[in-house]
Chain A
């Protein structure tokens, strides 16, 4: 049973560029959430997607956007990258009413 998969695992961008990160949820899960984890900090909630719609959003600017596809996979897009966007980006999936989150291995973004 495949867990949550994310791609790419590492990437380097320069300021002002755009990035797209991808996530496939755990089998049987229909909800995908994205988190940003800076070094030495806990993950911070970006947004959650369910039934192809953004259901809730954390305190992140509009430069952060996302999408969920009919197969429940998801993308996170970040425009006009800033140095402060350097972080580990975590995708988590969940299903049912309990809502326990299971994380992928993350995409480590470095902005130069």
Chain B
């Protein structure tokens, strides 16, 4: 049974600080990892994808992957109130034909 675990939160972070979101996965052979942002009542929006161990940066967002520890994280620098949302971690076992397994999401609140 493939599982993706996230702390449901809420995670409260002051505006301007770094928000750190974490995710663990159970299937060691997972190949692709994604972070989605979902505002209340809206659909998930892709923020980052990462496929190799290490860090990947895109603007204020940094994704970190450690396959040995089966751990993936998302850092949001200079957090803004507009970053308040639910962040979903998703994992794909193999190639593009495989469906994504999602965690339940972490509810992030950025306090002005």
Contacts and interface: CB of A to CB of B under 8 A. Distances in A.
A56 B43 contact: no
B67 to A, nearest CB: 18
8 contacts: A33-B99, A42-B105, A45-B100, A56-B97, A56-B98, A99-B95, A99-B96, A100-B34
Interface in B34-52: 34, 36, 42-46, 49
B104 A41 contact: yes
A104 to B, nearest CB: 6
A102 B38 CA distance: 12
B-side interface mostly: strand
Contacts of A43: 44, 88, 100, 102
Interface of B: 4, 32, 34, 36, 42-46, 49, 88, 90, 92, 95-105
Interface in A92-107: 94, 96-106
A31 B100 CA distance: 14
Interface of A: 31, 33, 35, 40-45, 47-48, 50, 55-56, 58, 88, 90, 94, 96-106
A101 B98 CA distance: 11
A103 B97 contact: no
Given A42-B104, A42-B105, A99-B92, A104 B99 contact: no
Contact of A48 (B44, B90, B97, B102): B97
A55 B34 CA distance: 21
Nearest to B103: A42
Given A43-B44, A43-B88, A31 B105 contact: no
B59 to A, nearest CB: 17
